[in-house]
Amino acid sequence: MTEVTLDNITKRFGSETAIEDVSLTVRDGEVLSIVGPSGCGKSTTLRTVAGFETPTEGRIMFDETDVTDVRAENRNVGLVFQDYALFMNMSVMENATFGPRMKGVPKEEREAKAMELLELVGIEELADRDPASLSGGQQQRVALVRALAVEPEILLLDEPMTGLDAKLKKRLRREIGQLLTDIGVTTLYVTHDQTQAMAMADRVAVLNDGRIEQIGTPETVYEQPANPFVANFIGTSNLLPATANGEAVDLGFATVEVDELPTTDGDVTVVTRPDDFTLNGGPIQADVLDTFYIGGTVQMIVELPDGNQISLNVNPKQSDVTGVGPGDQVGLSLDASNVHVVS
Ligand code: ATP
C-alpha cells in the first residue's frame, strides 16, 4: 500500500489556473474524496496524480518516491472514469484480465484473480458476456474490477457513478465502499455529489475554485465547517448573522453559547442545520413560507422576525404539522449544541 502526497500542486492551462497550491495526503489504505462544484479542479487534481497532467508547480509523491515526472503508464494506478470506457469488443473476463495480460501474468493466474474480483462485486455469472449487453451498474462494476485486477498501489475514481439511478447508486456506494475497505487500497475519489463523498470516504477534501477549503472526516466537515462555503456545500445550512458577545453569540431571536468563541467581539456568521430547529410551540416565532413532504420528513421554509429565512426538517411523528402551510405562524426552539461560528 502507498501513501500519496500532493505537495503544493498548481496546474495552469495558459492563463487558466485549474488548481492552485493544493497540498494533501491520502494515507495508506485510506479513501479520500475530493468534492466541489463543477469546474473547481477535481478532475485536474486526479489527472495529475494519474500522470496525465504535469503540474506547473509542486510535486507528487508515492510514499518517499517523487513521481512528478514519471509517465502515467509507469505509475501503478488503477483508474475508473465517468464513462467506464470498457473494451466493447472483449468479454467481461477479457476486460477484467486485460491489465494483467499486458503485464505478462499467466492466463490461469489472471483469470483466477479476475474471477475472485468479479465474485467480490457480485457479477461472476457475467464473465462471458459482452459489456454492451450489461446494465450501467454492471458495467460500472466491470470497470472497477478491471482497475483492481492490476493490483494497483492507488485507485483513482472520477465520478464513477454518474448516470446510475439513485437506488443503484446507494447500493453500489455501500458495496464498493465495503470492497475498498476490505482490499485496503489507497483511493482518491472525485465527485460533485457530497452525499456520495460523505458515505464512502474516510476523509473529504472540499475544493473550490482550485483551492482546498477544508479537509476532514465527514463528521468534521459537516459539524465544524471551516467557512461559509463548506457549510453551504456540505449538507443544507442556515447561515445566520449574529453578534459575538463575550461568552456567547446573539442571533437576535436567541442567544447561544458556542464551543469555539470568535477571537473578537462583533459581527459573525453562524451555521445551523435544518435538524437543529424543532417545531414545538417554542419561543422563536416564524412565518411559514413553504412546506415539502420528502418521505418521512416535512421540510419547511420559514421566515424569522428579522427577515432571515431558514430551512427546517420536521418529523411528522413528533410534531403535528397537519394543515400547517404558507401564511401560518409557528413557534420553534433551537438546539444550540450544534450551532457553529463560521466567520
Ligand atoms: P467537473 O465537475 O465539471 O468535471 P472539475 O472540478 O473536475 O469539473 P476540472 O475539469 O479539473 O474541474 O477543471 C478545472 C478548470 O480547469 C476549469 O476551469 C477548466 O475549464 C480548466 N481546464 C481543465 N482542463 C483544461 C485544459 N486541458 N485546457 C484548458 N483548461 C482546462
Going from N- to C-terminal start, the domains of the chain cover 4-223, 236-342
Question: 45 alpha carbon to ligand 1 midpoint, in Å?
Answer: 10
pLDDT of 226 reads 92
Q: Which residues contact 242 (CB under 8 A, 6 or more apart)?
A: 249, 250, 251, 252, 267, 268, 269, 270, 341
Q: Which residues contact 68 (CB under 8 A, 6 or more apart)?
A: 54, 55, 58, 59, 60
pLDDT of 300 reads 94
Q: Which residues contact 156 (CB under 8 A, 6 or more apart)?
A: 46, 49, 50, 77, 78, 79, 80, 187, 188, 190
Q: pLDDT digit of tens for each residue in the chain (343 aa)? A: 799 999 999 999 999 999 999 999 999 999 999 999 999 999 999 999 999 999 999 999 999 999 999 999 899 899 888 766 789 899 999 999 998 998 899 999 999 999 998 988 888 999 999 999 998 888 888 998 999 898 898 999 988 777 777 887 888 788 888 888 888 899 999 998 888 888 889 999 999 999 999 999 999 999 999 999 999 999 889 999 999 887 788 998 888 887 776 666 788 899 999 999 999 889 999 999 999 988 888 999 999 988 999 999 998 888 888 888 999 999 999 988 888 888 8
Q: Measure the CA dihedral 199/205/209/213, to 10°.
A: 120
Question: 99 alpha carbon to ligand 1 midpoint, in Å?
Answer: 28
Residue nearest to atom 8 of ligand 1 (CA): 39
Interface confidence: ipTM more than 0.90? yes
| Helix 107-120 with 92-102: angle, nearest 10 deg | 130
Lookup: cell for 326: 404558507
Fold (CATH) for 4-223: Rossmann fold (3.40.50)
Q: Which ligand 1 atom sits closest to the C-alpha of 192?
A: 2
**Residue in 6, 20, 42, 54 to alter for ligand 1 test, most ligand atoms within 8 A of Cβ:** 42
**Residue in 40, 191, 211 to alter for ligand 1 test, most ligand atoms within 8 A of Cβ:** 40
| Helix 136-149 with 92-102: angle, nearest 10 deg | 20
Question: 46 alpha carbon to ligand 1 midpoint, in Å?
Answer: 11
Q: Are strands 203-208 and 31-35 parallel, antiparallel or unpaired?
A: parallel
Quote the pTM value. 0.88
Domains 4-223 and 236-342 share a fold: no
Asked if residue 128 has its Cβ within 6 Å of ligand 1, the reply is: no
CATH number of 236-342: 2.40.50.100
DSSP state of 316: T
